[in-house]
Amino acid sequence: MNDIIVKSITRLVIPFLQLYGIYIILHGHISPGGGFSGGALIGSSLILYTLVFGVDRAQKKFSHRVSEIAESGGILLYLFVGALGIALTGNFLSNKAAGFPLGELGSLLSGGIIPVLMIGIGIKVASTMITLFHVLIQEESQ
């Protein structure tokens, strides 16, 4: 798409979209939303970039190699934190019983392992969204 208005507006909007997604991911344990919603927002901002600037430039920014690492890394972070609970108490994803600091209710640094899990889910969902779209779009050029 070769339109200066669309390109300028996209450049202006994408940082706010991604900031909002990161905000929702980081506040997953104290406000509505969480890893899945925030990850979907970040993924749709990357889809917007692909739609406006073309799949080749988007592939340079977020290639299949990066998305492989992000997807596996996100879910491995989740599994690692869950396995930490098994090692400490014997239950998967045990939080308070495993001795993680819970913090003060309502503050950003609270909830023990929940924020870490939210970050893992957010990375995985965002990279899954963009990979789905790239795979659907790219097949034609090959």
Partner 1 sequence: MIVLNVMIVIFLIVAALAIERTKDLLSAVIIFSVYSLMMSVLWLILKTPDVALTEAAIGAGVTSILFIAVISRTQRYEK
The site for partner 1 (CB under 8 A) is made up of: 24, 32-34, 36-37, 40-41, 43-44, 47, 51, 129, 132-133, 136-137, 139-140
In the complex, the smallest distance separating the C-beta of residue 44 from partner 1, rounded to whole angstroms, is: 5
Residues in Cβ contact with 102 at an 8 Å cutoff, skipping those fewer than 6 apart: 95, 96, 110, 111, 112
Q: Which is nearer to partner 1, 98 or 129 (CB)?
A: 129
3-state helix, strand, coil in the chain (%, to 5): 70, 0, 30
- Do residues 102 and 110 lie in contact, with contact meaning Cβ atoms separated by under 8 Å? yes
Tokens of 86: 């098994």
- Do residues 43 and 18 lie in contact, with contact meaning Cβ atoms separated by under 8 Å? no
Q: Which is nearer to partner 1, 36 or 53 (CB)?
A: 36
In the complex, the smallest distance separating the C-beta of residue 28 from partner 1, rounded to whole angstroms, is: 9
In the complex, the smallest distance separating the C-beta of residue 51 from partner 1, rounded to whole angstroms, is: 8
Q: Which is nearer to partner 1, 22 or 51 (CB)?
A: 51
Tokens of 69: 């690492």
In the complex, the smallest distance separating the C-beta of residue 26 from partner 1, rounded to whole angstroms, is: 15
Q: Which is nearer to partner 1, 37 or 95 (CB)?
A: 37
Which residue type occupies 44? S
